[in-house]
Structure 1
Amino acid sequence: MIKKWLGGALAAMVLGVASMGAQASMISNAELAAVEAQLELRDQVMQQITRADVQQQLVAMGVSVKDVEQRIAAMTDAEIAQLHSQLQDLPAGAGVIGIALFVFVVFVITDVLGATDIFPFIQPVR
């Protein structure tokens, strides 16, 4: 009795899974290029953050490098594009302090909004 019931349940599950069709569609060259461009921007931002002088400034401001990397990984494509454009607009000599200051401001804003909890002295608005 149990074998028949178990067999019937397994057969129903197999048929249910088999009937679920996978959807596949073609990706246009423009969509593929856009995805590659976003990945490249994300890599460029991460390269800036992994520089030793930038990491020293972040640590001096009380922000751990791991928190910065996690926050950048969680950023949307639009936020990455904005961060990248601001990094490109910085003068060569002010790049380190500008990057560190910008990341610090982003963390303060996300702490105020309650998205992160990096700084204990900032109370989120709720």
Structure 2
Amino acid sequence: MKRCLNNVMVSLMATLMMVMSIQLPYAHAAMVSTEQILEKQQTDRQRDTVIAFLNRAEVQQELQQQGVSPDEAKLRVASLNNDEVEMLAGKIDALPAGGFVGTLIGAAVFLFVVLLITDILGFTDVFPFVHPAR
């Protein structure tokens, strides 16, 4: 019995020593600079800008017309690296505020003003409320 107990104890100790000798990776700690934190925050803001753009109704409608699910597009944005997100957010920021609708309204106002001026000068007769200067 004593011999059996010794064998069990020796086996247990040998197993314990093997488990303790396994090399576990150590945690690596380093200082984080302010620039790294600011860069991470800026990238997060840019990623949020792109996601907010994708959440707009007209963008989602256009994505669906192109055959892309809005959720799939958001997953693709999440998988972009920092440089790609920065480039995409820069393009979104460069777009006009009204987009196509703003351009269309601007063109309509410009056309109205041109026709109004030509009506006042007597070259055209488009608007009945304008009396040409003769």
Gaps of 5+ in 2: 1-6, 102-134
Name the structure 1 match of 2:44. 39
Q: Deviations over 1:60-94 (max 9, x none)?
A: 12111121011101101000000000001111232
Name the structure 1 match of 2:55. 50
Q: What is the percentage of aligned positions where both structures have the same residue?
A: 28
Tell me the distance in 2 between the aligned counterparts of 1:80 and 1:2. 61
SS across alignment from 1:16: coil
Structure 1 pair 7–63 and aligned structure 2 pair: CA distance change class (3 A): farther
Following TM superposition, the consecutive aligned residue runs of length 4 or more in structure 1 with deviations greater than 4 angstroms are 1-7
Which structure is higher in RCO with an 8 Å CA cutoff and minimum separation 6? Answer: 1
- Aligned residues: CA RMSD: 2.5
1:63 counterpart (63, 68, 90): 68
Structure 1 pair 14–89 and aligned structure 2 pair: CA distance change class (3 A): same
- Structure 1 residue 3: deviation in Å? 7.4
Q: Which stretch shows the higher mean deviation, 70-79 or 48-57? A: 48-57
SS across alignment from 2:45: helix
2:19 counterpart (13, 21, 31): 13
CA contact under 8 A between 1:87 and 1:95: conserved in structure 2?
no
Q: Does 1:84 align with 2:89?
A: yes
TM normalised by structure 1 equals: 0.63
SS across alignment from 2:62: helix
CA contact under 8 A between 1:41 and 1:84: conserved in structure 2?
yes
Instruction: Compare CA radii of gyration and give the structure with the larger one.
Output: 2
Structure 1 pair 84–95 and aligned structure 2 pair: CA distance change class (3 A): farther
